[in-house]
Structure 1
Amino acid sequence: MIAAMVFAAGLGTRMRPLTDAMPKAMVRVAGRPLIDHALEQVAGAAPLAVNAHHHAGQLQAHLAGRDLTVLVEDPLLETGGGLRNAMGVLGDGPVLTMNADAAWTGPRAIETLAAAWDPTRMDGLLLLVDPARTAGPCGADFGIAADGALTRAARPLGYTGAGIVKTEALARVPDRVFSLWELWRPMLAAGRLHGTRHPGGWADVGTPEGIARAEAMLAAAA
């Protein structure tokens, strides 16, 4: 069993005007809010936390009664700060982190990540995707060396927004608001940030245009 954190507190500025009246995580794709797509990818994780900020009450109402904790942030803490804010819920072990703005086909992220996770060799593990498997744009952020360690030298693979990270280094970050890159950067330099490939399809749903692309991908896989 692994703890999980779903990041759902963003302002959703690229998704406007839809997010003028709702959090991005409540935007519907194929009839379901994005937060439900994300929670499906981490089903089985425990404990489970979701952060919220923009129109937080809507997200709280939607998730009421589920076996998870919603943490409302004010101010926004970004991904690293949000994760540290949730450690009282999640405990001190590794955490599966998941962005709530994507649609997926194929194996669930938790299954692929858990199968590849090796804490003796890794301090972090990111779930990556070949741009050929994506519906719409995908930033090619990383390459993978022969031993599975990530590199920025050759960057053919995109980050899906899911990964596992050890959390001990959170206490050493001086800022309150910071991104997960503050954890990843020293792991990358030490060869302790690894990657594994998502074998299914993936679609970024950060903009209104991304909704139609994601729905077409899901329909084709049904």
Structure 2
Amino acid sequence: MAPTRTPWGVWEPATPAEVARKFGTLPVPWWLAGGYAIEFALGHPVRDHADIDVLVLRRDHLAVQDALAGWQWWAADPPGALRPWRLGERLPVGVHDLWCRPDTDRPWRVQVMVDESSGDDWVSSRNPDVRRPIAGIGDTSGDGIPFLCPEIQLFYKAKGHRPKDDVDFAAVLPILTIEQREWLAYAITRTYGPHPWLRQLAGRRAPKH
């Protein structure tokens, strides 16, 4: 895939394996997110990716500086703008997005999403009523790479509802369990209200082959 150009520079995303090598030694939980989380749940590729997302909890977000030591880290603060994230700086609530690259003249490689928690629960930054035990928000690929559960990733994708989000939703919908569908429908309704995906979520789960 050709590099993606943005107002803040070019993206050439790292591979999941590269991300795992960087984050795999951290003593805190992290999960591959975005479109790759959907593909890891399915076990096969779905589409091209313009970036790669990693989810960490706010309580652990300084560990990103250890995982990507020597890199440049920029925070979306305020959202829609980027500014340098200083070494050791605890980002305020409301800052959820980090762009990271090896150096000024190098492309962006990793995007980090910072989310909330309370005790043993993950808490969505979109709606504090949407929460799950941290131990149950992810799974692990055959290569040992942790990834975000598809229903949680789709919950985040539901807000933007871009064409690529519809592609991911359609690809993973047949493998969602009844419980996953019900949770996703609840989270979408509670947070966004009426949504085009809700009718499909109410349908019967496709049989396994």
Scaled by the length of structure 1, the TM-score of the pair is: 0.28
Scaled by the length of structure 2, the TM-score of the pair is: 0.29
| Larger relative contact order, structure 1 or 2 (CA cutoff 8 Å, min sep 6) | 1
